[in-house]
Amino acid sequence: MTNALLLRAPSSGQDDRYETTFNEAGYHALSVPVLETISTNIPTLREILKAGPAAEKFEGVVLTSARSCEAWKTVVGDLVRVPPVEGKGSWSAVPFYVVGQGTAAALTEVHQTYGQTPYTPEDIRGESSGTGERLAQFIRDQPQGKPKKLLYLTGDKNRDTVPTILGKAGIDLRALKVYETQGSHTFERDLEDALKLASTGSVSYSTTRSKLVLRQGPLASQSWWIIHFAPSAAGFVMPILNNHFCFEHTESNPERSISNSSPSPSPSPRAKVAAIGPVTSSFLRDEFQIHVEVVPPSPTPQDLVAAIVSYDRNIGF
């Protein structure tokens, strides 16, 4: 069976939605964390939550990543027994705009963990958007009227798509960076361990915060899909992946070759590439001239796996 290398950290729970969906479709899923996250400005976010949405006239919150949702959850945990400023409103009464099912699920965990509090998101919208551009358009075109001001929690590598679209629509956006990302210092070792385990044909592999988790099932196949989830992660891992896999190049390479950057004594396996969205796909094409075989219509496990299954049935290697 074909291996699916998922370049992201698996969910902390027992079942990871991406891994489970790939496995149910007959693939062997391997999740290898790529990025390390450092929280920033958490004290500032805590003060904003304590003050309440009315203090700065916020009419909603925008979160476009699971990391920003985790920052909100962290602060709610700090404030769960702290009453908000009287007369400044409850965060549970304002809409929270998210870009996909993953961010919606991450935000839902706040309620599952802490229950109903003045800081718990209750009104979650936009999860079918799929991209920052479509989410911004969704916010702009709200049937009940567009909001006047929003709190926007970001990372250090956010594109300006959301602020540009909302700014042109006259929506004031206060952006607060709540996390920074950097390449995982254990990625190369984790990848090599995963490939070794895959080649034995005796176990499947996943990592959770740099710890190996052995899962039942053979992984003898040398057929590979590599799935990228973010441009920043792709930029970090591609030089390392080139040492282990062969990739098809785009038309910008005149030979449209299938090669890797450093020849090895034994041929490296040919890998097909999927990107979770058009931004990541464009990055791989523009920065590394990598041909991306699959981009799903939305960043859900079901759409991603369905697109890959369809490609394999119709085209294959």
The pLDDT of 18-45, averaged and rounded, is: 94
Token pair in block for residue 50: 């304590």
State what percent of residues in the chain have pLDDT above 70.
Answer: 86
**Confidence class for position 137, pLDDT limits 50, 70, 90:** very high
Question: In this structure, what DSSP letter does residue 261 have?
Answer: S
State what percent of residues in the chain have pLDDT above 90.
Answer: 69
pLDDT exceeds 50 at position 110: yes
How high is the pLDDT of residue 257? 42
How high is the pLDDT of residue 40? 96
pLDDT exceeds 90 at position 15: no
How high is the pLDDT of residue 207? 43
How high is the pLDDT of residue 124? 97
Cβ contact 121:111 at 8 Å:
yes
- Residues 6 or more apart whose CB falls under 8 angstroms from that of 245 comprise 224, 226, 260, 268, 269, 270, 271
The pLDDT of 259-281, averaged and rounded, is: 76
End-to-end CA distance of the chain: 13
The pLDDT of 275-284, averaged and rounded, is: 95
Distance CA(270)–CA(310), nearest Å, equals 19
Model's pTM, two decimal places? 0.62
How high is the pLDDT of residue 316? 62
Distance CA(135)–CA(140), nearest Å, equals 9
How high is the pLDDT of residue 81? 87
